[in-house]
């Protein structure tokens, strides 16, 4: 059973659009998920542009990859390192802590996540 950053049962991030490395709505990972898609975040235009400018276009739909393309307000499982890069650049999106996998803490400080909590 996956746990969130508080050691509690991991909650679903989103199923509209269907997110997660496994496309099951949960921000969980395994050894094959090199990006570690563990941070449940609420997209902003600033972050989407930051990600596109840094090599990961989340705006453009890619149906073959079951990827709908994202818009501000969508919830999505982000790679922990991408969220941290955005945090350091001052454009990290808000986070749903209860739906963020504890494995994100291997890369991101818990206090940084808490400071960006969706309230």
Q: Of all residues in the chain, what percent carry a pLDDT higher than 70? A: 100
For residue 13, pLDDT over 90 is answered with: yes
**Whole-angstrom distance, CA of residue 11 vs CA of residue 27:** 9
pTM listed for this prediction: 0.95
Chain position carrying tokens 């350091």: 88
Chain position carrying tokens 């909590």: 117
Q: Rounded mean pLDDT of the chain?
A: 95
- Tens of pLDDT along 55-113? 999 999 998 887 889 999 999 999 999 999 999 999 999 999 999 999 999 999 999 99
In a 3-state reduction of DSSP, which class is residue 8?
Answer: coil
**Whole-angstrom distance, CA of residue 119 vs CA of residue 54:** 28
CATH architecture of the domain formed by 1-119: 2-Layer Sandwich (3.30)
């Amino acid at each position: 059973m996956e746990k969130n950053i508080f050691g509690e049962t991991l909650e679903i991030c989103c199923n509209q659009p269907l997110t997660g490395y496994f496309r099951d709505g949960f921000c969980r990972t395994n050894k094959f998920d090199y990006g570690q898609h563990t941070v449940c975040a609420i997209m902003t235009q600033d972050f989407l542009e930051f990600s596109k400018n840094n090599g990961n276009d989340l705006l453009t739909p890619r149906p073959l990859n079951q990827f709908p393309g994202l818009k501000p307000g969508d919830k999505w499982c982000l790679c922990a390192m991408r969220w941290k890069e955005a945090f350091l650049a001052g454009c990290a999106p808000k986070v749903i802590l209860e739906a963020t996998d504890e494995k994100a803490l291997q890369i991101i400080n818990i206090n940084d996540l808490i400071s960006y909590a969706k309230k």
